[in-house]
Amino acid sequence: MKEKRKIGRGVCVIGAGMSKFGMFPDKDSKELFVESFKETVESVDKGFDPNDIDALYLGNFSNDYFVHQGHWAPIIADAIGHTPKPATRTECACAASALAFKEGVFAIASGFYDIVLVGGVEEMSKCNTAEVTEGLAMAAFPSELVAGFTFPGIFGAIGSAYFAKYGCTKEDLFNITIKSHNNAKLNPKAQLPFTIRDMMNQKIAKAKKKGRTVPFWNDEKEFLRDPKANPVVAYPMSLYDCCPISDGASSMILCSEEIARRFTDNPLYVIGIGQGSGGGLQSPTNDNITSLEATRFAAAEAYSMAGLSPKDIQFSEVHDCFSMAEVIDIEDLGFFKHGEAYKAINEGQTKLDGSMPINTSGGLKCKGHPVGATGTGQLHEVWEQLRGEAGERQIPNKDLKIGAAHNLGGTGGTCTFTILERR
């Protein structure tokens, strides 16, 4: 890697939006993206004419598989009235739209385009759970598939290794689940906008109503400990450690730094971008499955460009497809030392009012994970937090200037890290 990563022309975010995330079997990808696009255009403070968009970058993992239709970039371009201008799809599994964002930054930084729309979409709920699991498994390494792994199994294996190495237990992970649900309850776009306590009380009320034996749980941890309430999916990953199946879209408008203030007095500056790749958990060169080299590489690139270190990041969205992923992400990004993140989580440091808020949106776990929409969806949360527009889940007591998002594809086949700044 070069000593210092840099781009020749600064790039800003001037608008951001997203559809609600959830299961919408009666909506297609076009409708979902149009919903996001409209909100994105309306979010531009001083108004925005969509005809000024020079190019579109669209992240999508595999609508090819989920709805048997490919070549989505022009379909979406057509749906938003963007043709004949260029539209390009990016794909690296669950990191698809973080790469749409990165390519949008490059396209502007290169000088070729001035204003670019970036975003992502995925339409998963037309498939059943088994079909989705099989489709997502296409994002793993071939060697992992041959070994019988699906994604819950992969993150289960990572969890077991981490537990053995550092003494973490399932009890520690409960604090991630509880925190993510608490945050999601405050997010109107979230797929699972309820706390674990809400779910617990709802189940108790339902049992009472039906005259069944009322389940007895004193608190959320007892609920999460109960294998009937929270069955094991792939040990140590149980149901409430796993993100749901989702449909959704997200999008942002980027432009060159020199014209950003035409559109808003409060643009966000793209100060760090980074990306790494990896050869899978079973790669002969991988002697440690509790850390992803691709995340570490992506972070190093982004920190290099920003001239920052982990301590300068005030909050971050990270890729928590499973609770275990959140633990290793925040270690690999340098927010906590290896083997210590779970202790910091237990201390409440990653809560909304903690010293290092993580996944204030509810994360993939509770906001939802429409794969191709997740990358720019995470950056949407950074946008709202940095601009003080996160409503009830606004990070308290902090003058927010610098936030980040970490997106992960496959088993660390692709990882990205993006740092935004409010000036």
Smallest distance, a second copy to C-beta of residue 361, A: 24
Site for a second copy in 35-54 (CB under 8 A): 54
Q: Which residues are paired to 251 by β-bridges?
A: 17, 119
On whether the CB atoms of residues 246 and 125 are closer than 8 A, the answer is yes
Q: Which of 25, 42, 47, 78 binds a second copy (CB under 8 A)?
A: 78
Q: Assess 2 for contact with a second copy (CB under 8 A).
A: yes
Residue among 3 and 265 whose Cβ is closer to a second copy: 3
Residue 369: active-site member: yes
Smallest distance, a second copy to C-beta of residue 308, A: 16
Cβ neighbours around 198 below 10 Å, total? 15
Smallest distance, a second copy to C-beta of residue 149, A: 14
Smallest distance, a second copy to C-beta of residue 152, A: 17
Q: Assess 87 for contact with a second copy (CB under 8 A).
A: yes
Q: Assess 215 for contact with a second copy (CB under 8 A).
A: no
Q: Assess 61 for contact with a second copy (CB under 8 A).
A: yes
Residue among 244 and 412 whose Cβ is closer to a second copy: 412
Residue among 141 and 383 whose Cβ is closer to a second copy: 141
On whether the CB atoms of residues 328 and 158 are closer than 8 A, the answer is yes
Cα distance between residue 275 and residue 150, in whole Å:
24
**Site map 359..398 versus a second copy, x via CB under 8 A:** ----------------------------------------
Cβ neighbours around 128 below 10 Å, total? 10
Interacting span for a second copy (CB under 8 A) from 6-14, 178-186, 206-214, 318-326: 6-14
Q: Which of 293, 317, 331, 421 binds a second copy (CB under 8 A)?
A: 293
Site for a second copy in 139-158 (CB under 8 A): 139-142, 145
Query: Catalytic residue among 181, 319, 369, 380, which?
Result: 369
Residues near a second copy (CB under 8 A), total: 71
Q: Which two tokens stand for residue 229?
A: 């309430």
| DSSP 8-state assignment for residue 81 | T
Q: What DSSP letter does each residue of 42-76 carry, written as one string?
A: HT-TT---GGG--EEEEE-S-HHHHHS---HHHHH
Residue among 141 and 342 whose Cβ is closer to a second copy: 141
On whether the CB atoms of residues 409 and 375 are closer than 8 A, the answer is no
Q: What is the largest CA-CA distance in the chain?
A: 68
Residue among 33 and 342 whose Cβ is closer to a second copy: 33
Q: Assess 181 for contact with a second copy (CB under 8 A).
A: no
Residue among 270 and 345 whose Cβ is closer to a second copy: 270
Cα 110–112–117 angle (5° rounding)? 95
Q: Which of 18, 53, 93, 234 binds a second copy (CB under 8 A)?
A: 93
Residue among 68 and 423 whose Cβ is closer to a second copy: 68
- What are the E-state strand segments in 136-187? none
Cα 321–322–323 angle (5° rounding)? 130
What three-state secondary structure class fits 209? helix
Query: Catalytic residue among 94, 242, 321, 366, which?
Result: 94
Residue 71: active-site member: no
Q: CA-CA-CA-CA torsion for 230, 343, 307, 423, nearest 10 degrees?
A: 70
Q: Assess 4 for contact with a second copy (CB under 8 A).
A: no
Residue among 25 and 142 whose Cβ is closer to a second copy: 142
Q: Which of 23, 31, 45, 65 binds a second copy (CB under 8 A)?
A: 65
Q: Tokens 């309306």, residue?
A: 42
Q: Which two tokens stand for residue 146?
A: 């041959």
On whether the CB atoms of residues 269 and 12 are closer than 8 A, the answer is yes
Residue 410: which region, alpha, beta or left (left: phi > 0; alpha: psi -120 to 50)? left
Q: For residue 297, report the phi and psi dihedrals to the nearest 5 degrees.
A: -65, -45
CA 325 to chain centre: 11
Smallest distance, a second copy to C-beta of residue 372, A: 11
Q: Which two tokens stand for residue 122?
A: 């995925």
Cβ neighbours around 279 below 10 Å, total? 16
Site for a second copy in 259-278 (CB under 8 A): 273, 275-278
Site for a second copy in 102-141 (CB under 8 A): 102-103, 105-107, 109-112, 114, 138-141
Smallest distance, a second copy to C-beta of residue 290, A: 16
Active site residues: 94, 369
